[in-house]
Chain A
Amino acid sequence: GAVVSQHPSWVICKSGTSVKIECRSLDFQATTMFWYRQFPKQSLMLMATSNEGSKATYEQGVEKDKFLINHASLTLSTLTVTSAHPEDSSFYICSARGLADGNSPLHFGNGTRLTVT
């Protein structure tokens, strides 16, 4: 089945540094990737939608300059949390949609737990 690999699975960084999270589709071409954020004991909130080769579309309230999303190829999207602060600590999950997915379920990465100290 379709596999999405997300890396790293966890990261601890100091306040003010930047962290890059990678999301790769391993056996299919991901035309669209979605980035979600999950706060402890809460649901997943969509942050942005990225289509290969174009700028990401951010949800209301998500700072595009803080959460940089790049989707340069059909198998890789990256989320960079710039100048991270403790309030950015969260669980980030990517999901991907292939060319022929229609209304099929999206494929999810295993998530990245970010802790900013």
Chain B
Amino acid sequence: GDSVTQMEGPVTLSEEAFLTINCTYTATGYPSLFWYVQYPGEGLQLLLKATKADDKGSNKGFEATYRKETTSFHLEKGSVQVSDSAVYFCALRFSGNTPLVFGKGTRLSVIA
């Protein structure tokens, strides 16, 4: 079945460091890809998305590019802040009445 694999956490970075969280997927076909963020004690918020190959999603300084050839959607940010500390989930979804398939999540802690 379809699946998403994320790098294991936790990831601890100093403020202003460069962030990469790897995400690869396995799917039959070409799903849409998403990154969601979950701040402590809260629900999920959509961070960014890409719906087809070579699309780049971006939001709040985060970016991810849909790479069909490597089936990847790695999340990057050039300079993280303490407020970016959260759990990040990579997910895929096909159109229609289909749910999101989530990776296991990567916890990011940014220290001042």
What is A's interface to B at a CB cutoff of 8 Å?
Answer: 6, 31-32, 34, 41-44, 46, 49, 51, 93, 95, 97, 102-106, 108-111
B103 and A41: CB pair below 8 A?
no
- Residue B100 is within 8 A (CB to CB) of chain A in the complex: yes
A43 and B103: CB pair below 8 A?
yes
Taken together as a complex, chains A and B put the C-alpha atoms of A97 and B94 apart, in Å, by 12
Contact flag A105-B104 (CB < 8 Å), given A44-B89, A49-B97, A97-B97: no
Chain A's closest residue to B107 (CB) is A41
A43 and B43: CB pair below 8 A?
no
- Residue B22 is within 8 A (CB to CB) of chain A in the complex: no
B43 and A110: CB pair below 8 A?
yes
Q: Interface segment, B13-21, B44-52, B62-70, B71-79?
A: B44-52
B25: which A residues are within 8 A, CB to CB?
A: none
A46: which B residues are within 8 A, CB to CB?
A: 99, 101
A95 and B97: CB pair below 8 A?
no
Question: How many Å from the CB of B89 to the closest CB on chain A?
Answer: 7
B104 and A111: CB pair below 8 A?
no
Please provide the chain B residues from 15 to 66 with a CB less than 8 Å away from any CB of chain A in the complex: 31-32, 34, 36, 42-46, 49, 51
What is B's interface to A at a CB cutoff of 8 Å?
Answer: 31-32, 34, 36, 42-46, 49, 51, 89, 93-95, 97, 99-105, 107
A108 and B102: CB pair below 8 A?
no
B42: which A residues are within 8 A, CB to CB?
A: 110-111
Question: How many Å from the CB of B36 to the closest CB on chain A?
Answer: 8
Taken together as a complex, chains A and B put the C-alpha atoms of A97 and B104 apart, in Å, by 22
A42 and B93: CB pair below 8 A?
no
Taken together as a complex, chains A and B put the C-alpha atoms of A44 and B32 apart, in Å, by 18
Question: How many Å from the CB of B57 to the closest CB on chain A?
Answer: 10
Question: How many Å from the CB of B59 to the closest CB on chain A?
Answer: 12
A-B pairs, top 10 by smallest CB distance, nearest first, are: A103-B95, A110-B43, A111-B43, A43-B104, A103-B32, A108-B44, A34-B99, A102-B95, A32-B97, A105-B46
Taken together as a complex, chains A and B put the C-alpha atoms of A44 and B89 apart, in Å, by 9
Contact flag A103-B43 (CB < 8 Å), given A41-B107, A43-B102, A43-B105: no
